[in-house]
Amino acid sequence: MNRNRYRLLSIPYVIWVIGFTLIPILFILIRALTDDGGAFTLTNIVAIFSPLHRKALIMSLCLAFISTLICIILAYPVALILRGSRIKKKNIILFILILPMWMNFILRILAMQMLISNNGIINHILELAGLSPMNIINTPRAIVLGMVYDYLPYMLLPVLNSILSIPEDVIEAAKDLGSDKFHVLTRIIIPLSLTGVGSGITMVFVPSMTEFVIANILGGGKIQLLGNIIEQEFTVSMNWNLGSGLSVSLMAFVLITSFIFGRNNESTATGITI
């Protein structure tokens, strides 16, 4: 009976969504589809395929893909180990694992920079140990390292949640029906954790694909990702139409890619409540 009236409570939010989510998207679309004079054009959209931009796009795709993959490879065993262990305070371990998320993003990148820069701590230690210093900063490897470091918690959280929430009796039922450990893993645990992995992929792939800060700090500005190019269009070149066009194309790429290999499971991304 009061359902109708309760729906009215969302009016401020609906207005906010229209005003600050939908209209801005409309604006970026308009900018993307027009030139300086305001005439309709597709130049800005297809600009992503120009030789210069294409190189950045491929670099972005590769780095994001590699980072996401490493995150999955690192996170999945953690979830399996935690599930198998008798540690009672699994939630505390989970909490400790994702706590770095609460640390300022820029500071974390900065910390990573101090560790791996040429005169950084790791090289210092290597030197003391009489080993040759490694040269990693300002390479794509450094960017991948930064992305993995930064986004691993975003993969850990949904993957752990989905694996830890598989009921024990489902696994016992599988064993009862004759599954061995490997069979349980491939036929029960992995299929049931796919939604978690999917949202983890979205949460890692989307930001790493559109990254420019990590590339600027750890890549030393030498490696151009699509994010860097877009940022420069807005802050340096001041070609907002081109910047918008590139953003729209980038977003299309992100959505398509994460849909293909992540099935874009945004609803499970809500597992961030602790």
CA distance readout (Å), 245 to 64, 208, 238, 248, 274: 21, 19, 13, 5, 38
Q: Does residue 21 touch other proteins according to CB under 8 A? A: yes
Shortest CB 59 distance to other proteins, Å = 16
Q: Which two tokens stand for residue 214?
A: 């990590």
Q: Which is nearer to other proteins, 1 or 177 (CB)?
A: 1
243 belongs to the binding site for other proteins (CB under 8 A): yes
Among 47, 137, 147, 269, binds other proteins (CB under 8 A): 269
Q: Per rule CB under 8 A, is residue 240 in the interface with other proteins?
A: yes
Which residue among 33, 136, 144, 152 contacts other proteins (CB under 8 A)?
152
Contact between 23 and other proteins by CB under 8 A: the answer reads yes
Kindly determine how many residues on this chain lie close enough to bind other proteins according to the rule CB under 8 A.
85
Draw the binding track, 108-147, toward other proteins (x: CB under 8 A; -: no contact).
x-xxx-xx-x-xxx--x-----------------------
Task: Give the count of beta carbons closer than 10 Å to the beta carbon of residue 38.
Answer: 10
Contacts of 70 (CB under 8 A, 6+ apart): 144, 148
Maximum alpha-carbon separation in the chain: 77
If one asks whether residue 212 binds other proteins (CB under 8 A), the answer comes out as yes
Restricting to residues 160-199, name those near other proteins by CB under 8 A.
Answer: none
Minimum distance from residue 248 beta carbon to other proteins (Å): 8
Token readout for 12 is 């401020």
222 binds other proteins (CB under 8 A): no
Tokens of 121: 């701590």
72 binds other proteins (CB under 8 A): no
> Which residues, 192 to 211, sit near other proteins by CB under 8 A?
202, 206-207, 209-210
Please, are residues 258 and 202 in contact by the beta-carbon 8 Å criterion? yes
Closest to other proteins by CB, 96 vs 173, is: 96
Q: Which residue's CB is nearer to other proteins, number 102 or number 177?
A: 102
User: Based on CB atoms, which residue is closest to other proteins, 173 or 259?
Assistant: 259
Alpha-carbon span 210 to 138, nearest angstrom? 18
Q: How far is the CB of 146 from other proteins (least distance, A)?
A: 10
